[in-house]
Amino acid sequence: MNVGVLLGPAWRLARYVPGPVLGAAATLCADVVWWRRPAGVRQLERNLARVRPDASPADVRRLARDGMRSYLRYYAEAFTLASFTAAQTDARVRTVGDAPLRAELAAGRSVVLALGHLGNWDLAGAYAARAIGPVTTVAERLEPEAAFREFLAFREGIGLEIVPLDRSGGEVFRRLVRAVRGGGRLVPLLADRDLTAHGVEVQMWGRTARVAAGPAALALSTGVQLRPVTLHYERLDRTRRRAAGSPWGIVITFHDAVPVPATADRGHAVATMTQAWVDVLCAGIGDHPQDWHMLQKVFVEDLDPVRYAATLARSGAGSSAGSSAGSSAGTGAGTAAGPSTAGGAADGASGGASA
């Protein structure tokens, strides 16, 4: 089933459903999918087992249930986000470490942000665009085209500038460079998964995974800061709950800028900076693993070895952080404002694409 067909009606109709009803329906749907344990849920369990290697199978199973509830909560919120008032958005968001980021923007400099599929990146994007600074990000194309137009209208309606992802990524990168060099913008990129020939191999919890080169390559090309961002859900107190119209909010943590290595080797610099932000991301996921919505393959050991070897061959003997990283930084880097794959909403019923 092409879930993209359902996104438009969901965005149009969900706002008319009372919040408690929508939340209960999302939890019920999450529990049903978790209980059925389709391929996406099994992959989530494998991913979470890497995050918590000492957890028992029963503990991982329970963690996956919490993960599915977090994931479906994200969708319930995303479908109604356009109807939130500014006060409701503010009540649902708490920021940590944003002062240095605001200082960069006030000085007229842009900042590239590296994110993972954590918490509610839609809500984070809407809040940032209104309360911190202009936001430009990337969106992969949905099928059918009508669903993608709904997607764009929704994201642009919450204040985001969207750059549609093309096949090569080259034009995306050029547009992102222009946006960054225009100054005073946030450029968040969802980058914790990239199985294309342009991905970068990194270590996550002692295992090899593949993520996007885009954030590091873009920051290097433009000379701006690269800052990791982590997100997680939190229960709101009574006062914030009344103002938010929800028992849940998110915490956006802006981490220190990633150091730029003192090397003339661009490929090495991209790889080093990528590993640095991934280390920060892993720490954040370790603290709140249930909010990592990764129902797809990201660890190399889960990939088909023949297809992965072909991917490495296309990237040039496995050196995917080299010169190609700069010209295709947008490839594989999703958007901080929505699903990074057209099948995002269907991850509960599918294992995702392999390399």
pLDDT at 314: 81
Q: Please list the ranges in the chain whose pLDDT falls under 70.
A: 1-12, 142, 167-169, 317-355
Q: What is the pLDDT of residue 158?
A: 87
- Closest residue by Cα to residue 198 from 314, 103, 99: 314
Q: Which residues make Cβ contacts (< 8 Å) with residue 40, sequence separation at least 6?
A: 295, 296, 346, 347, 348, 349, 350, 351, 352
* Pairwise CA distance, residues 201 & 207, whole Å: 10
pLDDT tens for 297-351 read 999 999 999 999 998 888 774 444 444 444 444 433 444 334 433 233 333 322 2
List, for residues 48-91, the tens digit of each pLDDT value.
999 999 999 999 999 999 999 999 999 999 889 988 999 999 99
Q: Which residue has the tokens 């080299």?
A: 322
Q: Which of 271, 37, 148, 283 is nearest to 46 (CA)?
A: 37
DSSP E strands in the chain: the ranges are: 93-96, 111-115, 135-139, 160-164, 186-190, 200-204, 207-211, 225-235, 248-254, 334-335
Sign of CA dihedral 344, 294, 216, 321: negative
pLDDT of residue 124: 96
**DSSP tag of 14:** G
Bond before 144 cis per omega within 30 degrees = yes
pTM, 2 dp: 0.88
* pLDDT score recorded for residue 353: 30
